[in-house]
Amino acid sequence: MITDDTLSAAVASFWSARTAGTQAAAHDKAFLHLIATDLERYGLVPHVAEGVSDSAARIGGFFRSSKSWDIVCRDPEGELRVAIEFKSQVDSYGNNENNRYEEALGSGLDARARYGESVLLGFVLVLCDEEKTSRTTRLTHDEIAPEFRETSHAQRREIFARRLTEFKVNDMPFYDAAAVLLVTRDGAHQHPGDRELDIRTFVERLVHRLNPR
């Protein structure tokens, strides 16, 4: 079960890995293993990707041959059941904002087109909580939707994550569950006001679609 205590330990490991200068993929391991442990509580068998060359983390695509996901779960027959995309961002917020969105959008569409509703898709984003991400920026382009016009980087990430689960593709949810976690450089963390984006209940919300009650 993901709790604030286990999250605090994961946040500390996240910053330690970055300080140690480990490869980018290693920074997120503590969060990925936390999610994987929670998946095991529901009888799933998660595999955490060990890098882009990890074939066990690759799933087939529709528009492309295959794509690596950060966590995948397969049933005893080897059929894919769950795929989770994980992103973290602690700098270059403006430059990389659309890149993060486009990666998740492309991966989700490719998986939905290939597997339909037979696979559960999850998205998790960890964002550094600091002045750059919390201050409101005024977006003035004429075609920007009103809900984006005076928002912070953190608020726009939350809107994005929420809409991943609200949007339908042929009456299927684009993503089945999403979560956002805000972390500070001193090791603290906080959750969005929207409970549907709380990482502590992310796996529960995801798995509920697998076995709805």
The residues spanned by each domain of the chain are 4-208
pLDDT values of the chain reduced to their tens digit, one per residue, 213 residues: 899 999 999 999 999 988 776 555 567 899 999 999 999 999 999 999 987 778 899 999 999 999 999 999 999 999 999 999 999 988 777 667 888 899 999 999 999 999 999 999 999 999 999 888 888 877 777 778 878 878 888 999 999 999 999 999 989 999 999 999 999 999 999 999 999 999 999 999 999 877 654
Rounded to a whole number of angstroms, the distance between the first and last alpha carbons of the chain is: 20
Q: For residue 1, what are its two tokens? A: 């079960």
Nearest one of 152, 139, 209 to 177, comparing CA atoms: 209
What's the pLDDT score for residue 17?
A: 87
126 Ramachandran zone, left/alpha/beta (phi>0; psi -120 to 50): beta
Q: Which amino acid is at 6?
A: T
For 85, the 3-state DSSP assignment is: strand
